[in-house]
């Protein structure tokens, strides 16, 4: 469970990062931010070709609009985030009147059913208390013919298991000893098979796209960054069916009949 004090750590962490988070992860293209940029591209591709869109919900939007094509095509863009400073940054850099910024916790947020035409959730579900309930809730908010695109970190990924179970706790402990303590919050990992089971029970059409062939563990992926990057890009361009299920992330696309 993600307790309230841990959520406050998320708020504090992003307040401290401010614009640095977006600039580092989505600004100048480089090997270290390749996966985040790839996630954005794959999600954008899943959303493309829909023409005019009525209402869009970008939940867990972060400090910037990552899907400008959606903003351009829609009638109303609801940017929802747990972190007030993220929404302040959006307001400061996006004067478009169709954007409505709403502070909200996905675990507690409520909305009318069948309201949105498109919902995107990028890199946020893993920080919620009950991802299964939230996923079903988002589907319920979709109107008929609507589309939900949501990313998840993969529990079958050796890279993720090492990072969350060993490297990240050890790194935080070492930094604390050095006087560089940072807000702590854990990222939950997910199985697509479990998500598929839940979605099958509510009768929607869905598919998964795996990406992120990360097999060099932290911190060696940074030490050998160029090797890691070449491996990532090569396997992404020529996916290997037996390795796909061990990718670091997957994107679930849900269509509501």
Summarize pLDDT for 163-178 with one digit per residue, the tens.
999 999 898 888 888 8
Per-residue pLDDT of the chain (257 residues; tens, 9 = 90+): 445 567 888 888 887 776 677 788 888 889 999 999 999 999 999 998 888 899 999 999 999 999 999 999 999 999 999 999 999 999 999 989 999 999 999 999 999 999 999 999 999 999 998 999 999 999 999 999 999 999 999 999 999 999 999 999 898 888 888 887 777 778 899 999 999 999 999 999 999 999 999 999 999 999 999 999 999 999 999 998 899 999 999 999 999 99
Global confidence as pTM: 0.93
CA distance 156 to 195: 14
Range of the domain at 75: 4-255
| Cβ atoms of 59 and 138 closer than 8 Å | yes
Alpha-carbon dihedral 199, 121, 191, 126, rounded to 10 degrees: -130
Report the alpha-carbon distance of residue 32 to residue 13 in Å, rounded: 20
Q: How many domains does the chain have?
A: 1
Q: Tell me the residue length of the chain.
A: 257
The confidence score (pLDDT) of residue 1 equals 40
pLDDT at 19: 67
Identify the pLDDT of residue 5.
Answer: 65
CA distance 205 to 257: 8
Instruction: Check residue 127 and report its DSSP letter.
Output: G
Q: 64: domain CATH number?
A: 3.40.50.150
| DSSP secondary structure code for residue 166 in this structure | I
- Pair 190, 153: CB distance under 8 Å: yes
> What's the angle, vertex CA 39, arms to CA 146 and CA 169, rounded to 5?
120
Would you state the pLDDT for residue 173? Answer: 86
Distances (CA, A) of 58 to 101, 104, 110, 111, 177: 10, 12, 14, 13, 38
CB count in 10 Å sphere of residue 64:
20
* Residue-level pLDDT at 3: 53
Tell me if 77 sits within 8 A of 100, measured CB to CB: yes
The answer to whether the beta carbons of residues 164 and 218 sit under 8 Å apart is: no
Cβ atoms of 11 and 83 closer than 8 Å: yes
């Amino acid at each position: 469970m993600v307790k309230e004090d841990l959520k406050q750590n998320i708020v504090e962490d992003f307040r401290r990062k401010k614009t640095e988070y977006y600039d580092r992860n989505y600004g100048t293209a480089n090997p270290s931010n390749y996966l985040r940029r790839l996630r954005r591209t794959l999600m954008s591709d899943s959303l493309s070709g829909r023409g005019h869109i009525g209402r869009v919900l970008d939940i867990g939007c972060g400090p910037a609009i990552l899907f400008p094509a959606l903003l351009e095509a829609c009638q109303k863009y609801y940017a929802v985030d747990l972190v007030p400073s993220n929404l302040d940054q959006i307001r400061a850099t996006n004067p478009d009147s169709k954007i409505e910024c709403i502070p909200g916790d996905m675990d507690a947020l409520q909305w009318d059913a069948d309201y949105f035409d498109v919902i995107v959730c990028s890199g946020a579900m893993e920080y919620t208390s009950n991802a299964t309930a939230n996923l079903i809730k988002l589907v319920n908010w979709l109107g008929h013919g609507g589309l939900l695109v949501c990313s998840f970190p993969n529990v079958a990924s050796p890279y993720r298991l090492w990072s969350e179970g060993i490297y990240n706790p050890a790194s935080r402990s070492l930094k604390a000893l050095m006087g560089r303590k940072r807000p702590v919050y854990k990222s939950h990992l997910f199985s697509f098979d479990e998500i598929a089971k839940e979605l099958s029970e509510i009768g929607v059409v869905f598919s998964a796209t795996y990406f992120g062939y990360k097999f060099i563990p932290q911190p060696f992926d940074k030490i050998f960054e160029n090797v890691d990057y070449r491996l990532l890009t090569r396997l992404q361009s020529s996916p290997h069916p037996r390795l796909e299920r061990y990718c670091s992330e997957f994107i679930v696309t849900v269509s509501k009949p």
